[in-house]
Chains A and B, each alone.
Chain A
Amino acid sequence: MNKIIVYPYSILFAPFLRHLSNLQKYEIIGAVMPGKLIKEEVDASFVDEGLKMNVPILTDFESRLNECDTVLWAEYDYDENESFYNKVLYQINYALDMGLNIICCQELSETIIESFKTKARKNNCEFKYIMDINDNFNDLQDYNGNVTVPVITVMGVTENCSKFETQLSISRIFKEKGYKVAQIGSRQACELLNIHSFPKFMINNQFSEIKKIELFRKYLIKLQSEENPDLIIVGIPGGIIPFNDKEKMHYGIFAYEIFNAIDSDYNIVNSWVDTYKNICKDLEKIVYYRYNTHIDAICLSNISVFNDHSIIDRQSLEYNVYNIKKIEDCIQNVDYNSIYNVLDESSMNRLVDNIINKLTN
C-alpha cells in the first residue's frame, strides 16, 4: 500500500481526503497545509468542520517526505497567488528529485505535465496525472434505449455548498448497505476515488446544447450497460441560479441539460445554511419551472458566502465555514420534512433510507 502525503491541503480537497481515507487504498501519513496557521497537528477535518478523518494536518513538507513514497498533489485555489503556485511547482520538483511518485489532482498545462513526466522517468518514479480524462465519446453513438436504473441527482443552489460531500456520503452509505453504485461526480479529480468525473463533452464548446443532452443520455446508458449498477448518482456542477451580477454559477445550464437528458428518480438540492431560510419558499418553484422536476430532499451545507461590505469590490466570493451546530439550529427552525445535515452521519443515513423508501414504493 502506498504511503502518501497530501500537499498543498485546503478545504477544496477535504471531501476527497475524507473519502480517500475511507477507501483504505493508501496509507495517509498526513496533509500538509501551507503556512503556519495551526500550532500543533490537528485532524484534517479542521478545514471544513466535517466528520473526523484521522489524518493529521502537517505544517512542514520537506521534512516529512522521507516518511512516504508518494505525494498526492491536491487541487488548490491559486487565484491571484502566483508566487505560491511557483513554490508548489518547486516542491513537487523536489519530491521528484527524491524519487517519490506524484499523483496529480491539479489541472496543469501540457508543457508542465510533460516536464514532470520526463523528470519522473529520469528518477525512476511515476507522475500520474489523473485530470487527463479519457474523453472518448465516439462509441456513445452505439448506446440507445433508456436509462432504467434509478438515477439520483445532487445539485446545489450555488457552487461551494458541499454537494460533492453529499454525493460521496450517500454513495458510501449505499455501498455499505450492499448496493452497487455508478457515479458521475461534479469535480474533475473524481477519478482519484474511482468515480467518473463530469464528462468533458459537456463543457466542449464545439457541441451544441442539443448534442450535449443527447450525448449525456447515451453516456448514462453506457454506464448502465458496462457497470450494471443498482443505482446511478449524478452530481451536477455549478449552481441552479446565479448568485448576483458577478457570480453567475453557470446559470444552471448543466442542470438544464441533465434534466432534459434523463428523468431522475430522486433529487437532492444542497444549500448554504445562511441563505436557506430566505429562499426555501421559492426553491421548489425554481426547480419545477426551470427543470420540470421536484425536490425530494434539501441538504444543508455548513458553508455560506461571506457577504460583507468590506469585500464588496473583490473579484471572487469568499466563504464562511461554520460548525455543525449552525446547521442543527437552522433545521430546527425551518418547516420542511425532508431536510438533512451534510455534516451529520446519522442525518445522511436517514437521507439514504428516505431514498430507498421512495424508490422501493
Chain B
Amino acid sequence: MKNKPFIKLFNTRYGNYIYDVNTNSVLTVKKETYDCLSKIMKSNELDESLYNEELINLEKQGYLKSKRPDIIELPETDNIEYYLTHRLQKLTLQVTQQCNFRCRYCHYTYGDDTLYHSHKSASMSWETAKEAIDFFAERTRDTKYVNIGFYGGEPLLKYDLIQKCIDYGNKVFEGKILSYALTTNGALLTVERTKYLIDNNVSILVSLDGPKEIHDKNRKLAIDGSGTFDLVYSNLEEIKETIPEYFSRISFNSVVDPSLDCSQINNFFACDLFKLQPINTTALQPTVGKGVYFSNEYVKNSKKSLLLAMLSQVGVFDAEELPKIAFNHYISFSSFNKQMNRFFEVPDRMGHSGPCKPGIFRLFVSIDGGLYPCERLKDTSDVMKIGTLNEGFDFEKVKYIYNVGYVCTDRCKNCWNIRHCKICATKINDGQCLSKELCAYECKYDTKLTEENLRQYMAISEVKKIIMGVN
C-alpha cells in the first residue's frame, strides 16, 4: 500500500498551497484540490482514486511523492572527526564570569542553579587562554578564515587578557584571514579601547536595548541595581565625537522585550547617533518551558514591521530605509528564500537542517578549559560538554549532539518540517540529557514557525501579484 504524499497543506487569505517536502517547493492549487487533498491526508490510507485532474498532473510532474528518509542522521556525521581535527572556524573564549551588570533576562542572573552558574568572580587565566588558542590553531589546517571571540560575563573586565590574546593570535594565525569579535555591555568601552580593538580587526557588538526607559527596565548595574543607559550612551557619544570613523564600525544588539512597545525602539535607533549603524534585534528568549508576555503594542507594531518588510521584498520600499525591526524581518525573509532551493527528492539518509556542527562552526571554551558547542548554553551541565583542552574532543559526544534526530527518530522521519527545522541540542537539554519531552515541545513551536514562514513566503508573492500584477 502506497504511503500518503509527504506534504504540508496550508492556506492564506488569498491562496491554497501544498508544501511538497521532497522537492522543497510550494505549489498553488485550486480550493477544490486543496479540500480533496485535505480529506485524503486525514483518512487512514491513501486512496488515489480520489485524486482530481490537478493532483494527477502534479504527480506526473514529480510532485506529491511519498518518499521519506529511511535513516535520520545528518550525512556530515561521517566527516565530524575530520572537521574537529582540521577545520575549526571560530573560537570563543569565556574570559570571565564576572559582570558589572545584572540584566534581568540574562541566564546567569536568573537561571535555575542546576542549569546555569550564577555570576561569579572567576576568570580565565592567560595559560588557559593560550592553551585554548593553541588547541584551536592546531585544528585549523584547512580553514582559511578564523575568528576568535571574547565573551563573559563582561569581557572588557579582562581587557589586559584580551590584548594578550590578540597579540598572540596575530602571531599564531599569520597567513590566515584572522578576525576577532567582542560582545560588550558598553560600560567599559572607551575611545582608546575602541581604537585598539578596531585597529586589530575586532568586531564590536554593543548590547543596547533601546531608549532609556526601555533599556533600563532590564539592564541594571550590579552594584546598586540602577539603570545603565546613561553610562553606556555617554561612552558611545564620546566615541562618535572623537573617532567617528571607528564608531561607524560598531554594531548593536537590541533584545526586544515583547511586553514593551517596540515602536520606541525603532524611533530610538533612527536617531542621528545610530541611524547608519548595523542594528540587530533579537526577541527575548523565554526560559525553557515558560512563556513570554506579548503586549498589544508589541503585537500591533510587529505586524506593521512585517508588512513593511514584505512590501520591501516586492520592491515597494528600499530595504535600507526600513525601521530596524522591520529590516530584521526583511533579512529573515531573504534568509528563508535562500532555504527554498529545489530538490529532486529527500535522500535516504538525512537529518533536519537546523544544527551547526558542534564545536566546528563555534568552539566555546569555558574559564576552566571545558569545550562546548556555543556560549548560549548551560555550562554547568555535562550534557553539552564535548571535551576539554587537556583531553581533546569526545567525537562520539559531538556526533550525538549534532544529531538531535537520534532523540526523536520516528517523529522526524514523518515530519514535514525536516528540511527547515531549527531545533538544536541547546534547546532540548534539560540539564540531565537531551530530552524527548523537550524535543516534542520545541517541535510544536518550530513547526508552527515554519508554517508561518511559508505563509509569509507565499503572502509576499500574493502581494506582488496584487501590486504589480505579476505571477
A residues lining the B interface (CB < 8 Å): 8, 10-11, 33-39, 46-47, 76-77, 79-81, 84, 87, 306, 308, 310-312, 314, 318-323, 326
Contacts and interface: CB of A to CB of B under 8 A. Distances in A.
Q: What 9 A-B pairs have minimum CB-CB distances, sorted nearest first?
A: A34-B175, A35-B174, A36-B172, A34-B174, A35-B175, A37-B137, A310-B361, A321-B142, A318-B144
Given A37-B138, A84-B174, A314-B145, A322 B87 contact: no
Given A35-B172, A81-B175, A84-B175, A320 B87 contact: yes
Interface in B310-350: 338
Nearest to A274: B79
A38 B174 CA distance: 13
Interface residues of B, number: 26
Contacts of A11: 142
Given A81-B177, A310-B89, 15 more contacts: A8-B175, A11-B142, A36-B174, A37-B172, A37-B173, A76-B175, A79-B144, A81-B175, A81-B176, A318-B143, A320-B79, A320-B87, A321-B86, A321-B141, A323-B82
A34 B173 CA distance: 8
B175 A312 contact: no
Contacts of A33: 175
Nearest to A304: B79
Contacts of B356: 310
A117 B60 CA distance: 70
B348 to A, nearest CB: 13
Given A37-B141, A306-B87, A310-B361, A320 B82 contact: yes
B13 interface: no
Contact of A10 (B82, B145, B172, B175): B175
B140 interface: yes
Contacts of A76: 175
Contact of A35 (B83, B145, B171, B361): B171
Nearest to A35: B174
Given A8-B175, A312-B338, A37 B140 contact: yes
20 contacts: A36-B134, A37-B138, A37-B140, A37-B172, A77-B144, A80-B177, A87-B174, A308-B357, A310-B356, A310-B361, A318-B142, A318-B143, A319-B142, A320-B79, A320-B82, A320-B86, A321-B86, A322-B79, A322-B82, A326-B82
B350 to A, nearest CB: 15
Contact of B137 (A36, A312, A321): A36
Contacts of A39: 134, 138
Interface string B81-111: 0110011010000000000000000000000
Contacts of A77: 144
Interface string B165-201: 0000001111111000000000000000000000000
* Residue in A10, A11, A84 whose Cβ sees the most chain B Cβ within 10 Å: A84
A38 B138 contact: yes
A128 B176 CA distance: 27
Contact of B141 (A47, A87, A311): A47
A79 to B, nearest CB: 8
B78 to A, nearest CB: 9
B87 to A, nearest CB: 7
A348 to B, nearest CB: 23
B352 to A, nearest CB: 13
Interface of B: 79, 82-83, 86-87, 89, 134, 137-138, 140-145, 171-177, 338, 356-357, 361
Contact of B173 (A35, A38, A312, A321): A35
Contacts of A79: 144
A35 B176 contact: yes
A77 B143 CA distance: 13
Nearest to A78: B175
Contacts of B137: 35-37
A11 to B, nearest CB: 8
Nearest to B143: A318
Contacts of B87: 306, 320
Contacts of A308: 357, 361
A84 B173 CA distance: 10
Nearest to A318: B144
A236 B86 CA distance: 30
Contacts of A314: 145
Nearest to B139: A37
Nearest to B176: A35
Nearest to B137: A37
Contacts of B89: 310
A311 B143 CA distance: 11
A88 to B, nearest CB: 9
A315 to B, nearest CB: 11
A308 B356 CA distance: 9
B131 to A, nearest CB: 12
Contacts of B79: 320, 322
Contacts of B174: 34-36, 84, 87
A312 B353 CA distance: 15
Contacts of B144: 77, 79, 318
Contacts of A322: 79, 82
Nearest to A76: B175
A87 B176 CA distance: 13
A319 B145 CA distance: 12
Contacts of A80: 177
